[in-house]
Structure 1
């Protein structure tokens, strides 16, 4: 077991364009002294210059999948040269909970180096294992699909 922590700080301030409401901007502090500027999504009066919680959720799923993919590929003797993804999350009405991220689509693009290069079947197998082992994916109710390029 491990414990993961973050700190959230919000201070009342006026909204920059709507005087009758408050700013949604806040800061998330992570270990290693990283600070992430966060706000609501633009559709919910947030700041487009900040990350929003939905983006952070889909990037966490994508990052987790990638880290498992890299580890499994390495264990199987494959050298990954680069890994890129542009995950998409769909905020939709849910029958059970109101609005929710119901679907997350990963679109990884991976290149390999070295003498041992996997065929498509091996790549699909690595994705399947990464998908099944990803801690974050296992923690969310959204359907997560992998559309490997």
Structure 2
């Protein structure tokens, strides 16, 4: 059996929404926080506006959907590069659905990735479409979640 490579990821999450009263009550604080990693700019985050969050900041649910999309894209570009499919542009319109329970808890029930990919003339559109399936099989994040992640790709052949 081959040895497993372990990778560790460290981030710092810091709450910035204490307006002086802390969590005295449900309405006494903002949900604002930052996500940071050494040597990188902080990401302004909050909760979803449905949960008293700031609509101008990213929320954890958006970041989860973005992580799935980003991971898929990076594997897809890699697989295209090594399989002689020249991608000229890639844009994903990803959407996640979370179901909120009566008690206020919730869970994602599905994420749909809708990547639109333009490939160079001379690249094989069938191969380009097929590589989405392969990329999905490699995506670290998709393999780590307990809900379906669907991929509905559009391949555009450059003129």
TM-score, L = length of structure 2: 0.82
Unaligned runs of 5+ in 2: 1-5, 155-159
Aligned: 1:84 with 2:74: no
Unaligned runs of 5+ in 1: none
Contact map agreement 1:77 1:116 (CA 8 A) in 2:
no
Residues 8 and 75 of structure 1: CA distance in aligned 2, closer, same or farther (over 3 Å): same
TM-score, L = length of structure 1: 0.87
Contact map agreement 1:14 1:23 (CA 8 A) in 2:
no
Give 2:138's aligned residue: 133
What is the aligned residue count? 142
Give 1:6's aligned residue: 11
Contact map agreement 2:85 2:128 (CA 8 A) in 1:
no
- Please identify the structure whose Cα radius of gyration is greater: 2
Contact map agreement 1:87 1:106 (CA 8 A) in 2:
yes
The alpha-carbon deviation at position 34 of structure 1 amounts to 1.7
Quick one: which of 43, 50, 72 aligns to 1:65? 72
